[in-house]
């Protein structure tokens, strides 16, 4: 059964004799309960990860965020109707491949850019070299702009941050 059929069946309360709490090794999709939640549309799947084990993610529009600053930026991006992927992981690197995560991967007028929110916990000054190397890896794959804004500015003036970012992205080669 395809995932779309499972979604329709879940919405209509149809059970084909398969418990949603079993595994499905043939599909290699892990625990059946997770599949059932996805079929119902209740699973949050943008891969956002927590930066602190004792802090729960903030949920907005069925997406996970690490902070209110990220939610403020997401709302500002929503107001201008821009395509954005929050806290998405990418598999990248030209020589050494690895997972890296962007706070916001944004497509605007056919150009892709990354908006990063520098927070003392997620992007401490001690990791600036690591962050810059990660930025260069994204750029090596064609991301036109990686721009960083302070979490305080994102909280206080998210619309201005988004406006400035989109202007920079539009003008980026």
What is the pLDDT at residue 121?
Answer: 72
CATH of the domain at 157: 3.40.960
As a whole number of angstroms, the distance between CA 101 and CA 92 comes to 10
What is the pLDDT at residue 109?
Answer: 95
- Given a contact cutoff of 8 angstroms between Cβ atoms, the answer to whether 109 and 170 are in contact is yes
> Over its length of 173 residues, how does the chain's per-residue pLDDT go in tens digits?
444 444 444 454 444 444 333 333 444 444 455 555 555 555 555 565 555 667 788 889 988 888 899 999 999 999 999 999 999 888 888 888 888 889 999 999 999 999 999 987 767 778 888 888 888 989 999 999 999 999 999 999 999 999 999 999 999 97
Question: What is the domain extent for residue 28?
Answer: 3-40
Same-domain pairing of 106 and 74: yes
Residue 71 sits at the vertex; the CA angle it makes with 69 and 77, to the nearest 5 degrees, is 105
Same-domain pairing of 30 and 88: no
What is the pLDDT at residue 54?
Answer: 74
Count of domains for the chain: 2
Which pTM was predicted? 0.71
Number of H helices, E strands in the chain: 6, 6
Same-domain pairing of 100 and 20: no
- Contacts with 62 (C-beta within 8 Å, 6 or more apart), sequence order: 44
Q: Are strands 98-108 and 63-65 parallel, antiparallel or unpaired?
A: unpaired
């Amino acid at each position: 059964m395809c995932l779309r059929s499972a979604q329709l069946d879940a919405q209509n309360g149809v059970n084909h004799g398969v418990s949603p709490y079993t595994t499905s090794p043939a599909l290699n999709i892990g625990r059946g309960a997770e599949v059932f939640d996805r079929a119902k549309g209740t699973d949050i799947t943008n891969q956002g990860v927590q930066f602190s084990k004792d802090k729960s993610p903030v949920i907005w529009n069925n997406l996970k965020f690490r902070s209110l600053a990220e939610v403020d930026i997401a709302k500002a991006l929503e107001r201008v109707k821009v395509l954005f992927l929050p806290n998405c992981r990418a598999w990248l690197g030209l020589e050494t491949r690895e997972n890296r995560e962007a706070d916001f991967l944004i497509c605007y007028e056919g150009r892709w850019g990354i908006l990063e929110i520098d927070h003392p916990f997620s992007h401490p000054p001690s990791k600036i070299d690591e962050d810059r190397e990660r930025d260069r890896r994204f750029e090596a794959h064609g991301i036109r702009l990686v721009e960083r804004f302070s979490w305080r500015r994102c909280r206080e003036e998210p619309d201005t941050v988004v406006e400035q970012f989109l202007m920079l992205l539009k003008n980026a080669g």
